[in-house]
Structure 1
Amino acid sequence: MSSSYSLEILKMAPSKNKRAAVALILLNILKKRREKKKVTQNRSIWVKPHLQERHRVGIEQTLLTDLLAQDGNDFKNFMRMDYDTFMMLQDKVSLVLCYKIAFNDYYKINFKVRLDIEKQDTYLRSSISSELRLAITLRFLATGDSYRSLEYLTRVSASTISLLVPHVCQAVYSHLQPEYMKVPCTEDDWKKIADEFRNKWNFPNATGAIDGKHIEIEAPPNAGSYYFNYKGRHSIVLLALADAECNFLYIDVGCNGRMSDGGIFKNSTLYRLKII
């Protein structure tokens, strides 16, 4: 619709319909502008040259190999764990139960497959090994580096890292949580924890030590003051429960920082257990 034709329609329209006509003209202009923005350019290259060299000079072939060739302390500093622990963790998250995920529903399939963080090669490109996926994730958790910074370190694209980090984190949590952070589920389990607090700390009738930690974030777009906490920063909150040996029994992450301690606890699944 041309602008001159639109003006002719506007002149001919009754006064009571002029506002509607103006609105239609503006919508048409906005639609054309959006269509222009959708025009994208073809990629000049499919994979950046420095990323294509990953299997020759990536950190698996260079940095990690050099660190392991030394006394092992540098590898532990880089990964925040020794090599044996790293390989144990890699084995656990590689052989897993397959889950079909739809929103928050999990449907368990009754056979084991090696596909949680392990991928297969294709004719177009080689896959990223489970060891490298785990190494990238551990380095991200240890340093908080940006995905772009990790791209230059690992020769894996930032867009790929943004997908694999949450995937590996979910795999690690799914496997380690039932073994190392099992939430007490019976009255006897809670009484055992209370006995440990009484015997070790002379603190009777305690079923756990609970506290929260603000995790600073960049405020999401249009979030306003939703995540703004009393410290003057934007954050989400980690709520944790520990036993007498300072081992985590339960965690809840994600409440907005502006909520009170009582509100955060009341919003957790732990509150619904009606144990504490």
Structure 2
Amino acid sequence: MKSSFMEPVDRLTSRIKKKDTWFQKALPPGLRVAVTPRHLATSDSYNLLMYSFRLAHNTISYMVKQGCMVIVAEYSKEVFNIPTASDEWRGAAELFNIRWYNSIVLMALVDADYKFMWVNVGSPGSCSDVQIWNDCDLRDHIVPDRISWPQPDHMMTGTPHTT
């Protein structure tokens, strides 16, 4: 079974692999694939990624641009469905908020083991936090104190650290 990282590396290698020259060795495809999702997921600047990947910021800039084009080219037939009917276009437009950001807010409550206890998905990204909080059903239970919260307890054993 392939790891979740190796599947895109294998699929994208033929599109992003560069040849070694007499001047320098080409960067490995795995590194080239790793840079783009890291930048997209974290929104880290190229200067910050420069220290994580030990690459120049201008190299990272080129790799992110190329990586986005390669990902779209490789996965577009499987993932991106272009609407064809007017009602499909209306549905797509509802996801595109006033500021032209394609965003949907996810609000979740998790326990100490990072297991989801409650999830609210679907508020448009143009809504403020207060609007989403005021409309969510979790607020309807927390504000009037209808949830039976556990009693406060010490999280650590032993003596507290003093400075």
What TM-score comes out, normalization by structure 1 length? 0.33
Selected match of 1:181 from 64, 80, 83:
80
Within a 5 Å distance, the mapping from 1:126-137 to structure 2 comes to 126-137=25-36
Match of 1:91 in 2: 10
**What is the one-letter code of the residue matched to 1:93?**
L
Percent identity among equivalent residues? Answer: 28
Alignment root-mean-square deviation, CA: 2.9
Structure 1 residues without counterparts, runs of 5 or longer: 1-82, 95-113, 191-204, 215-228, 230-235, 241-276
1:212 and 2:105 are equivalent in the alignment: no
**What is the one-letter code of the residue matched to 1:117?**
I
- The answer as to whether partners of 2:19 and 2:25 remain within 8 angstroms in 1 is yes
> How many angstroms does 1:146 deviate by?
0.8
2:96 partner SS? strand
Greater relative CO (CA pairs within 8 A, separation 6+): 2
Cα distance between partner residues in 2 of 1:178 and 1:237? 23
2:33 partner SS? helix
Cα distance between partner residues in 2 of 1:178 and 1:152? 35
Structure 1 runs of 4+ aligned residues shifted over 6 Å read none
2:3 partner SS? helix
1:209 partner SS? helix
More strand by share: 1
Within a 5 Å distance, the mapping from 1:213-232 to structure 2 comes to 213=97
Selected match of 1:170 from 61, 69, 74:
69
Cα distance between partner residues in 2 of 1:152 and 1:239? 29
Match of 2:102 in 1: 238
Match of 2:154 in 1: none
Match of 1:157 in 2: 56
> How many angstroms does 1:156 deviate by?
0.8
Cα distance between partner residues in 2 of 1:146 and 1:184? 33
1:84 partner SS? coil
Larger radius of gyration: 1
Within a 5 Å distance, the mapping from 1:56-75 to structure 2 comes to none
- The answer as to whether partners of 2:12 and 2:33 remain within 8 angstroms in 1 is no
1:174 partner SS? helix
Match of 1:147 in 2: 46
Selected match of 1:122 from 21, 26, 33:
21
Cα distance between partner residues in 1 of 2:6 and 2:20? 22
Cα distance between partner residues in 1 of 2:10 and 2:96? 32
Cα distance between partner residues in 1 of 2:57 and 2:97? 29
Structure 2 residues without counterparts, runs of 5 or longer: 105-163
Cα distance between partner residues in 1 of 2:11 and 2:3? 12
Cα distance between partner residues in 2 of 1:86 and 1:92? 11
Aligned length: 101
